[in-house]
Structure formats: structure tokens, C-alpha cells
Amino acid sequence: MSPSSWLLKDTLTDKGLAALRAPFRVYKTLRPTLAKTAGGRGWTFEKICGRAGPTLPPFRLFRLHLFYQFNIIPEGDTVKTPVFTGTATALATPFAPDGSINLKTYKAQIKYQLDCGTDALVAVGTTGENAVLSRDEHVKLMECAVEAAAGKVPVICSTGSNDTSYCIKTSMEAKKCGADALLLVTPYYNKTSQSGLIRHYFEILDAVGLPAILYHIPARTGLKVKPETFAELSRHPLVVGLKEASGDVSYCAEISALCGDDLPVYSGCDDLTAPIMSVGGKGVISVLSNILPTEVAKMTKLCLENDFEAAYKISKKYHKLTKLLFSDINPLPLKAAMKLLCRDSGVCRPPLYSVDDGLYAKLREELINLKLINS
């Protein structure tokens, strides 16, 4: 039974099931049939998924029908294509002396990243101090990042919140700005249960319709997610990655083994990039690449090529600097290092102030040792 005849007859034999698992290119020839079938059956997102959602074309509705009703993702489907592989820089937000956002410096930072071969950009994340940005500032930075990237690399906008409704609104703003994907941290402070987490994410994704990388950082959120929960979350077509920042490589390996290609894993810890990629990770969302974009991009490229011996040499060379960048609350040490490197992004907004003199001296000493600045 061909996919076309199954669509028209509404039956699902063993042969029909095998046909539905055919390479995804088969379905590209069925657009007229899909349009007729979707219209005739009154398919909508809500009827297929059991909850309210966006208006989608017949072809997309059919993909959702396969996924939700029969748990089928056709071979070669692009639903789980990673947003990026390699290095995504978690951009710092530069502030002027009066505390306002310095968009000129922000654009210069992005140009520097593009010139150095960074594979993707993450705007207004933790490193971008999103917790102290107004809604208007958040939107302005997302717009600026998309505009400055000019389609050269994917722009991932951090819009996660512990308020599901607010997260949907901010994520819709990211979509309007032209973001390629969302970065969604797990709810913090009020947190939620494992089942509540699934509902939280599914409601956001269904309402917004953009791919999302989930963000797991229990040290900041107080919420530890079970690998089995990530396996369930990975069933959603729009969940296209996980930024894993628990610091536990064996936990990452368990998630990779459980979810496979349904959930690309990215290191959220610069000191664990190579180890996490050695157990199946696809790259890193990096703080270090703000100051060493070429080196971090080279390291992840070597990992993707399975040359871990060379990758570990790079990791070892910058290990002390990486540790110093996380020896105080991020992005305090990062902004101090950027200042020393003459790529000043200003100070942090309160309640973050500045690093102490001792840490500043250690950062300066290590940058000198690495020959990144003069003594």
C-alpha cells in the first residue's frame, strides 16, 4: 500500500506502516493529495494534537498526524535536523557607562564572531544578563542579533521563563524578530514536576511553532530533569536539542543513549565540551568563545571529526582560563577578561557588580601566559 492510498482509504496495514516509514522525499510528491485529504477530513492542529496550536499547511499537518497518531518520523525527515553543530557563542550584553545597552558594541561583537567562524549565536541568555533586561530591551537585542547575523549563522534567542504564558509571549516576539530557534531554560524558583515540565514545554512549542533547544542547568534553577523526561520531550518534533549544563558527563551519556538523534546534546560547560562530544554531543553553547571564538570553533570541529586527541590539546591549553571564567558568577569574569582584551562590554548590571582585585589579577596573568595580551 502506498502512502497515497493509505491517505485516501484511512487504513493502516503492515504494508501501509512500512510505506509510511519510506524516505521522507516520498511525501514531497503528495502535496495535492495531502491538501485534498487534510481539507476533506478537517484536519487542524487541535484535532491532531489534542490542544490548541498554530494554523499549519496540509503538508505539516500530515507530518504531525504521523508523529502524534502513529509515532512515526519518516526516514530522512528534517524535523530533528540540529539547529547547528559545533560552536554557538552565548553573547554577552554590552552596557554603556549610563547603564543603557550599547547596540553598536553588540553589533561589533557579532561581526567578530562571524569573522572568526562561530557556527551560531545565542542572544539574551544567562551570559547576556537576561534576568536584568526589560521586555523592550530583550526584544531590541533579539532584533539586533538577527539583523547583525544577516542569515550567515543561526540565531537562537533565549526566551525561557518560569511563567509559561510569559514565555509564550516572549517566544512569539523572538519569532517576529526572525529567530531561527529558541533556548528554553527549565522553570526556576517555583519549578514544576516532571510531568508539569513536559506540559510547560509542549504548550510553548505548540503555541509558537519554532524549534527549541532545551536548557538544563540545575545549579541555577533547582530543577533536575530525569533522562526519561528528556526522552519524552524529545518526541516533540520541535524539540531539536538540549543544552546540558549539569556538569555530569555520565548523565549526558545516558541522555544520548536514551534519546539518540531525537535529542542532539550540546555542552553547556566550556570545560566539558570535548568530554560531552566524545559521548555523542553535537557541540557547545559557549561562554569562552566570546574571547576565543576561533579556538573553540576549531576544538568542536576536531571533535566532530573524531580527532579527540587534538581537541583535548586545545581544551587543556585553555583549561585554566576556562576555570577562571567560572570562578565567579557568569558573566562577571567574562566581562573582566573582555576588558583586558580591549573588547570592553562594560560592567554588569546589579545585583552583579565586578570581580574582586584578586580574580582580575589572575585573569590578567593567565591572558599574559597565553600571549593574548602584553605584560
Active-site residue flag, 243: yes
Active-site residue flag, 112: no
Rounded to an integer, what distance in angstroms lies between the CA atom of residue 80 and that of residue 302? 23
Query: Which member of 80, 243, 282, 362 is catalytic?
Result: 243
Of 89, 198, 208, the C-alpha closest to 149 is: 89
Rounded to an integer, what distance in angstroms lies between the CA atom of residue 238 and that of residue 80? 8
Element (H, E) at 182: strand 181-185
34's grid cell: 495531502
CB 190 within 8 A of CB 221: no
SS3 of residue 78 by DSSP: coil
Torsion region of 74: left, alpha or beta (phi above 0 gives left; psi -120 to 50 gives alpha): beta
259's grid cell: 534519546
Query: Which member of 201, 215, 266, 318 is catalytic?
Result: 215
CB 364 within 8 A of CB 373: yes
Q: How far is CA 359 from the centre of its chain?
A: 30
| Helix%, strand%, coil% for the chain, nearest 5 | 55, 10, 35
| Neighbour-count burial for 227-244, b at 16+ CB within 10 Å, e otherwise | bebbebbbbbbbbbbbbb
Which residues are marked as active site?
215, 243
